[in-house]
Amino acid sequence: MKPKLIDRGAEAEIYLKGNKILKKRIPKKYRHPELDNRIRRERVIKETKITSQARQAGVPTPIILDIKNHTIEFEYIDGDKLKNIYNKLNPQQYNEIGKNIGKLHNAGLVHGDLTTSNMIKHKNKIYIIDFGLAEYDVHIEARGVDLHILFQSIKATHQPNNSIKQIKKGYKKTFPKHKKVFKRLREIQKRGKYIPQ
């Protein structure tokens, strides 16, 4: 079966091949080829590791099927991208988003690009994908920024209504240090008001 290009970002091309997703990191022309090879390879390994660790921590993520040079083969999650259905979710599902992020943070991981384009609903589970910018980070600041990015993107793209409250409620359930993170989040939000980026 021929792979079909379904998405192309700045860093990667995404192909659907049967029930697999191939995420191929594309070369950056401005980098020296050897260095470029190494960087892409390192990112492939890091994304693979963190995707699996998140899954071990109980966060639904696609199973890694194989790694080939600069390409990761993932299980295809045949569902709805949250970007397209966000306003129609129920409180329980918003709660689930927060629980997943809490589990991620509790495992010492931050995602780095939490938007509704990187979440897929499948059989009443909310999958998190795209750990390409994820890091091992246990600092309150990184966790606050993770939530800030998500809430900003929700406010910019969707009708937040009560969803942010529900996400926070879910986060509280799975992440014991939630109070510190929420306090920092408020500080980050204030900073954002006065420091244009």
**Which stretches of the chain bind Mg ion, using CB under 5 A?**
118, 130
What CA–CA distances, in Å, run from 67 to 51, 61, 63, 157?
13, 16, 12, 33
User: Looking at 36, 80, 113, 137, which residue is catalytic?
Assistant: 113
DSSP SS3 for 148:
helix
- Site residues for ligand ADP, 119-148, by CB under 6 A, read 120, 129-130, 132
CB of 183 to ligand ADP, least distance (A): 30
Q: Residue with structure tokens 């091309």?
A: 13
Rounded distance between C-alpha atoms, residue 21 and residue 110, angstroms: 23
* Residue choice 53, 59, 74, 185 for contact with ligand ADP (CB under 6 A): 74
E strand or H helix at 41, and its extent?
helix 33-56
Q: Select from 85, 197, 94, 93 the least CA-distant residue to 145.
A: 197
Regarding 21 and contact with ligand ADP (CB under 6 A), the answer is: yes
Q: Which is nearer to ligand ADP, 78 or 141 (CB)?
A: 78
Q: Which is nearer to ligand ADP, 77 or 97 (CB)?
A: 77
23 binds, among ligand ADP, Mg ion, none (CB under 5 to 8 A by kind): ligand ADP
Residue 113 annotated in active site: yes
Could you give the residue numbers annotated as active site? 113
